[in-house]
């Protein structure tokens, strides 16, 4: 995203560094007919200031003095926003002054710490007080009324780090931070999701966001001197994770057009169809039984059309309409939103509550749209593996995560298991033959584990720990005939003990082959 922002750039610091020592400083000028802005740097009793004059349509206004070592201006529809401050000095102020097109001072606002202006939309200005990764300091988002300068929203963003990109979509603000989080601020509500990061004291970050009515995408690159991580993650507009994948090239941007995500690099753009990213398309060589524990996804028949709409009375209801050939079926389920999932046996339509993993109601149809079963679901459907529908109960609000396997023909539970770790956040499930492998971490203790369940027998192995409450969890499994490969990332509340790495275990007895991290 090309932001209409003038932050405290290193280049600007170099230009003005020699100008702070004395009042006899040459002016800097921003031109762009019919507007020009001149800035003079001077000191009073050792305190630096930037003195601005603004020339608009041949008329000069000012001077306007703001405290700070560096300064600049942003032309806006509302006027000219002038700013000055101290880069990277948390105890010093950043000043903003909005000059109207008549030269009148509309308002003056002072924030403490390095604060950047990002954009103005619908009469509100978006400002960000940057945080840091190490030590973990949370950034702060401010919304400012551009007519009065009054702060209408102040929201601290958990997870620490610096804000790397911001996207606005229909009144909702999405922000990506250098500690690997995407935040969504809607009215006074905040939601965040962890996508990736790297450990180390000095981590360089490049973040690129895109958002549509349905999707949010983040393309990123993390480097720490000894390695790098490049990737793309896709979420729903409510920040429910859909897919993540590695990237070969360094991204310089991302956009979403229709049902395709485009990752931009120095050599052009690479399209990633959303169906391919989320696995809603079926390869011709896909194996319905997923013998190595992968989630198999199936494209719905081309003749099947499914639409939905939501109504609200005293409760939320989602109305589904399914059509195939000359047959049309309508079904209404309780819940504010709904989805579908096709399997070799038919199609499941179900409702859910955004941001929660507790289940709603579900109805399963065969390919002739005859109802095979309907029931309340104990958790959210997450995929189809080894002939079963996989449901996972796991979010920050539940004290215990659980996994369920449903028979698609009867809707009966074939398997259920709830890990014994308190607030265990489940991030991956693999069904291999008669064994079920579950990976995740306790949000309370910061410990990551793998569970292997076969009938009444349960085995459990420790993977890694952040040693504190977790804000972000990423533990993924790859299972073959002999080994289990685990890749993990655990992000703690303070950021002082973030851990990343991978381990390999023998599938037979869960003994460790190697662990690095």
CATH code at position 324: 2.40.10.480
| Distance (Å) of CA 337 to CA 228, 354, 356, 372, 381 | 38, 7, 12, 22, 14
Residue in the structure block whose two tokens are 């009966």:
412
My answer on whether 157 and 303 are in the same domain is no
Q: What is the pLDDT of residues 104-144, one digit of tens each?
A: 999 999 998 899 999 888 888 999 999 887 667 889 999 99
pLDDT > 50? residue 20: no
Kindly report each contact of residues 154-159 with a partner whose C-beta sits within 8 Å and lies 24 or more positions away, as own/partner: 155/185, 155/188, 155/190, 157/131, 157/181, 157/183, 157/190, 157/192, 158/192, 158/471, 158/493, 159/183, 159/192, 159/194, 159/471, 159/472, 159/491, 159/495
My answer on whether 388 and 493 are in the same domain is no
- Find the range with the poorest average confidence among 31-45, 47-61, 65-79: 31-45
Please give the pLDDT value at position 4: 39
My answer on whether 16 and 145 are in the same domain is no
Confidence band (pLDDT; 50, 70, 90) for 292?
very low
* Mean pLDDT calculated for residue range 304-314: 77
Of 78, 151, 147, 148, the C-alpha closest to 112 is 151
In a domain, 149, yes or no: yes
pLDDT > 70? residue 21: no
- Final residue of a domain: which of 278, 309, 344? 278
Of 443, 357, 366, the C-alpha closest to 404 is 357
Please give the pLDDT value at position 497: 66
Q: What is the CA angle 288-292-294, rounded to 5?
A: 60
Please give the pLDDT value at position 26: 40
pLDDT > 60? residue 317: yes
My answer on whether 146 and 268 are in the same domain is yes
Please give the pLDDT value at position 137: 83
Cβ 118 vs Cβ 3: under 8 Å? yes
Euclidean distance between CA atoms 162 and 62, whole angstroms: 34
- Final residue of a domain: which of 418, 448, 478? 418
pLDDT > 80? residue 414: yes
Of 61, 57, 50, 126, the C-alpha closest to 86 is 50
DSSP-derived secondary structure for 77-104: TTEEEEEEE-TT-TTSEEEEEEEPTTS-
Please give the pLDDT value at position 161: 85
My answer on whether 89 and 141 are in the same domain is no
My answer on whether 374 and 473 are in the same domain is no
Euclidean distance between CA atoms 495 and 311, whole angstroms: 42
Pick the residue with more confidence: 164 or 192? 164
* Mean pLDDT calculated for residue range 440-447: 93
Cβ 106 vs Cβ 147: under 8 Å? yes
Please give the pLDDT value at position 115: 93
DSSP-derived secondary structure for 51-66: EEEEEETTEEEEEEEE
Cβ 212 vs Cβ 248: under 8 Å? no
In a domain, 176, yes or no: yes
The predicted model scores a pTM of: 0.57
Please give the pLDDT value at position 496: 66
My answer on whether 463 and 502 are in the same domain is yes
pLDDT > 60? residue 1: no
Cβ 53 vs Cβ 61: under 8 Å? yes
Of 197, 80, 186, the C-alpha closest to 141 is 186
My answer on whether 226 and 347 are in the same domain is no
Pick the residue with more confidence: 494 or 315? 315
Q: What is the pLDDT of residues 335-390, one digit of tens each?
A: 888 888 888 888 999 998 877 788 889 999 988 899 999 999 999 998 888 889 99
My answer on whether 264 and 312 are in the same domain is no
Pick the residue with more confidence: 229 or 47? 47
My answer on whether 500 and 389 are in the same domain is no
In a domain, 424, yes or no: no
Confidence band (pLDDT; 50, 70, 90) for 450?
very high
In a domain, 163, yes or no: yes
* Mean pLDDT calculated for residue range 323-329: 87
In a domain, 113, yes or no: yes
My answer on whether 404 and 487 are in the same domain is no
In a domain, 322, yes or no: yes
| Distance (Å) of CA 184 to CA 175, 190, 429, 457, 460 | 7, 6, 27, 41, 35
* Mean pLDDT calculated for residue range 320-331: 89
In whole numbers, what is the pLDDT of the chain averaged over residues? Answer: 83
pLDDT > 90? residue 294: no
Please give the pLDDT value at position 200: 62
Q: What is the CATH number of the domain that holds 155?
A: 2.130.10.10
pLDDT > 80? residue 495: no
Domain count, the chain: 4
In a domain, 237, yes or no: yes
In a domain, 468, yes or no: yes
Euclidean distance between CA atoms 351 and 334, whole angstroms: 7
- Final residue of a domain: which of 362, 391, 418? 418
* Mean pLDDT calculated for residue range 63-74: 94
Chain centroid to Cα 198, Å, comes to 16
My answer on whether 404 and 479 are in the same domain is no
The residue segments making up the domain with residue 362 are 285-418
Confidence band (pLDDT; 50, 70, 90) for 29?
very low
């Amino acid at each position: 995203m090309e932001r209409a922002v003038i932050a405290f750039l290193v280049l600007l610091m170099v230009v003005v560094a020699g100008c702070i020592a004395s009042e006899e400083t040459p002016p800097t000028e921003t031109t762009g007919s019919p507007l020009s802005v001149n800035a003079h740097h001077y000191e009073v009793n050792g305190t630096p200031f930037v003195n601005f004059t603004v020339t608009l349509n041949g008329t000069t206004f000012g001077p306007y003095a703001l405290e700070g070592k560096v300064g600049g201006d942003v032309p806006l529809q509302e006027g000219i926003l002038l700013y000055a401050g101290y880069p990277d000095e948390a105890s010093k102020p950043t000043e903003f002054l909005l000059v109207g097109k008549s030269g009148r001072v509309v308002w003056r606002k002072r924030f403490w710490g390095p604060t950047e202006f990002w954009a103005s939309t619908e009469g509100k200005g978006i400002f960000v007080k940057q945080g840091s990764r190490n030590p973990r300091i949370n950034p702060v988002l401010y919304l400012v009324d551009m007519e009065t300068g009054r702060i209408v929203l102040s929201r601290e963003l958990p997870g620490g780090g610096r804000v790397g990109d911001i996207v606005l979509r229909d009144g909702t603000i999405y922000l990506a931070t250098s500690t690997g989080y995407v935040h969504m601020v809607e009215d006074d509500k905040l939601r965040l999701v962890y996508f990736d990061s790297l450990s180390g004291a000095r981590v360089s970050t490049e973040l690129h966001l895109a958002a549509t009515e349905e999707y949010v995408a983040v393309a990123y690159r993390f480097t720490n001197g000894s390695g790098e991580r490049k990737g793309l993650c896709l979420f729903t507009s409510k920040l429910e994770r859909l897919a993540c994948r590695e990237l070969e090239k360094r991204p310089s941007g991302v956009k979403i057009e229709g049902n395709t995500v485009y990752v931009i690099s120095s050599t052009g753009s690479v399209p990633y169809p959303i169906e391919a990213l989320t696995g809603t398309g079926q390869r011709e060589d896909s194996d319905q039984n997923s013998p190595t524990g992968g989630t198999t996804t199936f494209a719905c028949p081309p003749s099947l059309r499914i639409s939905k709409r939501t109504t609200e009375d005293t409760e939320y209801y989602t109305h589904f309409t399914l059509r195939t050939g000359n047959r049309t079926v309508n079904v209404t389920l309780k819940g504010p939103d709904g989805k579908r999932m096709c399997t070799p046996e038919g199609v499941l339509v179900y409702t859910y509550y955004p941001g929660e993993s507790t289940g709603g109601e579900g109805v399963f149809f065969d390919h002739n749209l005859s109802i095979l079963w309907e029931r309340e679901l104990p958790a959210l459907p997450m995929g189809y593996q080894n002939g079963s529908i996989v449901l996972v109960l796991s979010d920050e609000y539940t004290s215990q995560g659980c996994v369920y396997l449903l028979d698609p023909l009867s809707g009966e539970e074939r398997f259920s298991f709830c890990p014994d770790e308190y607030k265990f956040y489940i991030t991956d499930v693999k069904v291999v033959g008669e064994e079920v492998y579950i990976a995740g971490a306790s949000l309370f203790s910061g410990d990551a584990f793998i569970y292997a369940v076969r009938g009444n027998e349960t085995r459990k192995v420790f993977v890694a720990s952040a040693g504190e409450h977790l804000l972000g969890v990423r533990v993924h499994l790859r299972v073959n005939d002999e080994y289990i490969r685990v890749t993990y990332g655990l992000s703690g509340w303070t950021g002082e003990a973030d851990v990343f790495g991978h381990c390999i275990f023998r599938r037979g007895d869960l003994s460790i082959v190697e662990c690095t991290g």
